[in-house]
Amino acid sequence: MKLMVSVKRVVDYNVRIQVKPDGSGVVTDGVKMSMNPFDEIAMEEALRIKEAGNAEEIIAVTIGEQKAQEQLRTALAMGADRAIHVEVDEDIQPLTAARVLKALADKEQPGMVLLGKQAIDDDQGQTGQMLAALWDRPQATFASKVDLDGQKAKVTREVDAGLETIEVDLPAVVTTDLRLNEPRYVKLPDIMKAKKKPIDTTSLADLGVEAAPGLKVTNTAPPPERQGGKKVESVDELVSELKNRGLI
């Protein structure tokens, strides 16, 4: 069985985001970029499935500019067997990403497509669900545990009320949550080996995918600065202050 894992290039989660002076977006020049943390968890889960003898090949996929190959190299260093780069210069909407993954799934015929439940740059969390709909396959989102049994997968999901466990037939789409696993540390020898692994480059046109019309960002602004707090000496003073501020 093949496993296909989607990874996205995002600003590293340790970086403090700065908005451009003209409000056209966030500053990315000279900023550390990394693999989306949720996608890193998806890659780790694919590696564990393969190591358990339930898969033979892992294919890492990314959609984005030329520099996104850095994240594919990270995926290869983690243990992916090969990588596919769908080179696109403009920002990609979730529906376009889902169409790309569907085209690749038709070509590669994976037993499972894994991706993070959301990306930390836009927090939209739509691509996995859209892919399942386009591919007409079952979906198991927000996975915190995945167990394979032949042509079925039992997935524990994190929902508002707690946890629920569902069983889906394979092939299926699985989106990963934070508590699914802890990604492995990439060692220097693996990084060096990853430089020799193949990356296939393609485009939307090659895949027969048309970019979907989507949202247009008109302005970006930082959150308002937090106001300083105020200490009160008694409950009566607290109630009075809340009334003055129109909070009660």
Dump pLDDT digits (tens) for 181-218: 999 998 899 989 888 888 999 999 999 998 877 777 88
Query: Percent of the chain beyond pLDDT 90?
Result: 65
Helix or strand run (H / E) with residue 98: helix 94-108
β-pairing verdict for 112-116 and 199-202: unpaired
CATH number at residue 229: 3.40.50.620
Q: Is the pLDDT of residue 90 over 90?
A: no
Provide the 10 A C-beta neighbour count for residue 63: 23
Domain hosting 202: range is 2-244
Using alpha carbons, select from 123, 135, 116 the residue that is nearest to residue 45.
116
- pLDDT score of 231 more than 90: no
Predicted confidence (pLDDT) per residue in 132-167, tens digit: 999 999 999 999 999 999 899 999 998 888 899 999
C-alpha 175/C-alpha 215 separation (Å) is 23
Quote the number of domains for the chain: 1
SS3 assignment, position 111: coil
pTM metric for this prediction: 0.84
